[in-house]
Amino acid sequence: MITLLKRYWDIFRKPAVHYSLGFLTMGGFIAGIIFWGGFNTALEKTNTESFCISCHEMKDNVYKELMSTAHFSNGSGVRATCPDCHVPHEWTNKIARKMQASKEVWGKVFGTINTREKFENKRLELAQHEWARLKANDSLECRNCHNFEYMDFTQQSPRASVQHSTALAKGEKTCIDCHKGIAHQLPDMSEVEGWQ
């Protein structure tokens, strides 16, 4: 085994004899474009709503629930898709989230939530993951569209403007602390702090 690895290492570290430097650099460059481009294209493909709802777990549960909310249907026709809220937009965080998502592939393969009952039983755990993520990044995915700096408090309801100009402005609270369950139904909240 060691000798086999050593032989390949020797081949790897020797300069090329038959190929020109130009061929190797150009070849490396083109191969780089193909592989990197392919990787990014595949990544972007998994970052679309149609990809998410190609699984019935998403289509029949969370997507269906989203459809009746303001984030799907509203007067202005602007809407949020799954990855807008559930995948970070910035590259490094996006890759980190995509690596975490390998767990979701596992779940799909082994049918962790392949019925409505299973999904409902697991809903609290799944929701808590998302709440924790949004709490940790100060509701970044909300803020990608809803910018606190440009909120006109006079346009908000009295309750909303009070909360936004105090707790949110001071950073004591973040969006997800109050706006749980705005895009999907909530799990059984009897064990969740602030909902008893």
Partner 1 sequence: MKNRFKKFCISGFALLSVTVSILVIAEENIASLRQDTPLNAVNESPAPLQNASNKDIKRGRSYPMQPPVIPHKIDNYQLDLKVNKCLSCHSRTQIEESQAPMVSVTHFMDRDGNFLADVSPRRYFCKQCHVTQIERSNLIENNFIDIQHLLSK
**Interaction site with partner 1 (CB under 8 A):** 68-70, 157-159, 181-182, 185-190, 194-196
* Minimum distance, C-beta of residue 155 to partner 1, in the bound complex (Å): 11
Closest CB to partner 1 among 92 and 157? 157
Looking at the Cβ atoms of 94 and 164, the one nearer to partner 1 is 164
Query: Would you say 87 or 127 has its CB closer to partner 1?
Result: 127
**Taking the complex as a whole, how short is the minimal distance between the CB of residue 190 and partner 1, in angstroms?**
8
CB of 83 to partner 1, least distance (A): 22
Q: How far is the CB of 173 from partner 1 (least distance, A)?
A: 10
Report CA torsion sign: 153, 158, 164, 169. positive
Contact (CB, 8 A) for 93 and 83: no
If the CB atoms of residues 69 and 137 are measured against partner 1, the closer one turns out to be: 69
CB environment 148-158: b (16+ within 10 A), e (fewer): eeebeeeeeee
- 15 or 158: whose CB is closer to partner 1? 158
Minimum distance from CB of 86 to partner 1 (Å)? Answer: 19
**53 close to 86: Cβ distance less than 8 angstroms:** no
**Closer CB to partner 1, residue 114 or residue 161?**
161
Q: How far is the CB of 72 from partner 1 (least distance, A)?
A: 11
